[in-house]
Amino acid sequence: MSTREETVLSVENLQVAFRDGGDITPVLRGVSYRLPKGQVLAVVGESGCGKTVHALSLLNLLPPGGQITGGHIYLDGQDLLALPPEALRRLRGAKISMIFQDPMTSLNPIRTVGKQLVETILAHENISKLRARARAVSLLKKVGIENARQRMNEYPFQFSGGQRQRIMIALALCLHPQVLIADEPTTALDVTIQAQILRLIKKLQRQSGMSAVFITHNLAIVAEVADEVMVLYGGCCVEKAPAAELFARPLHPYTQGLLHSLVSLKKKVEVLPAIEGYPPAPGEPKTGCPFAPRCPHAFEKCRLQMPPLTQENGREVRCWLRGTHA
């Protein structure tokens, strides 16, 4: 386990809600973790569990109506939630950066790729435009864009989906951040391009020594990139463990269901395995464990009381069936 000095990003009891008129809908309900230097944390779960909301909260980029209602986010010991907007803007990109979910819409369609890279660099560093452009060309080469110098003058629509994702990675890394947040970075890409992008992110992460938070619902991706995995369900963490241990011995029934749902290409199945039922809708009243309505092992206590997040052999799990609380 990492010491506090080695921790780059620390999230403590993060709570997020959305306001619509007089209604307040809780979305994240106390998420906590520490990210050591040079490590990759994968955050997994079904759509609607709070993965992207958590990612946007780290940069205070929540959409209208979203607000952080509790907790702390520390980057190198500095509380990001206590910073004024201008100070936080200077940190975005420079110390903590993000690859957004959709490469098709995340780039500005009416500005050349080169201009977007150069503007990002100049907004944070006091260097000449010539030097910024040279760095931008070098970055495009690094992420695998051929004829980078010529392609600096092209617009996003002139690139394929995989190339646009590579450009997004270049944008995220152009200021050498300490922490990279990758929110579903292989969305809408075919499996061959997905594999290329994953290898590229992992290679760049190792070369630079930066830490990364990898948001995904694809457990096959997790096995490729993660050192540790946090499983979200209903806006809270239900299990956190080193990746190898989680795949070898999942503790929470939800994690077990996710892994059971993986389909092997070597084994033919008539019916695809799935977790029965539906995840809770944001704002749906919750008493007890949020997974209880879908859990094959649930008993009365599960439906009445939320289980605490407890330690078990260095891992964390939120389940009444585990540990001394069963």
pLDDT tens digits, residue range 189-233?
788 888 888 888 888 888 889 999 999 888 888 888 899 999 999
Pairing relation of β-strands 96-99 and 7-20?
Answer: unpaired
Going from the N-terminus, what domains does the chain have, and what CATH number goes with each?
4-95+177-325 (3.40.50.300), 105-176 (no CATH)
pLDDT score, position 323? 56
- Average pLDDT score over residue span 70-94: 93
DSSP 92: B
User: In the structure, what pLDDT confidence band is assigned to residue 3 with cuts at 50, 70 and 90?
Assistant: very low
pLDDT score, position 324? 47
**What number of CA atoms fall less than 13 Å from residue 255's CA on the CB side?**
25
User: Model pTM?
Assistant: 0.90
Residues 279, 282, 288, 293, Cα dihedral to 10°: -20
Strand order in the sheet with 66-75: 23-36, 7-20, 66-75, 78-79
- Print burial letters for 106-119: b (CB count within 10 Å at least 16), e (below 16): bbeeeebbbbbbbe
pLDDT score, position 265? 65
pLDDT at 101 over 50: yes
The strand ranges marked E within 91-139 are: 96-99
Residue 11 to residues 69, 89, 291: CA-CA distances in angstroms?
14, 19, 23
Q: Which is more confidently placed, 3 or 30? A: 30
User: In the structure, what pLDDT confidence band is assigned to residue 267 with cuts at 50, 70 and 90?
Assistant: confident
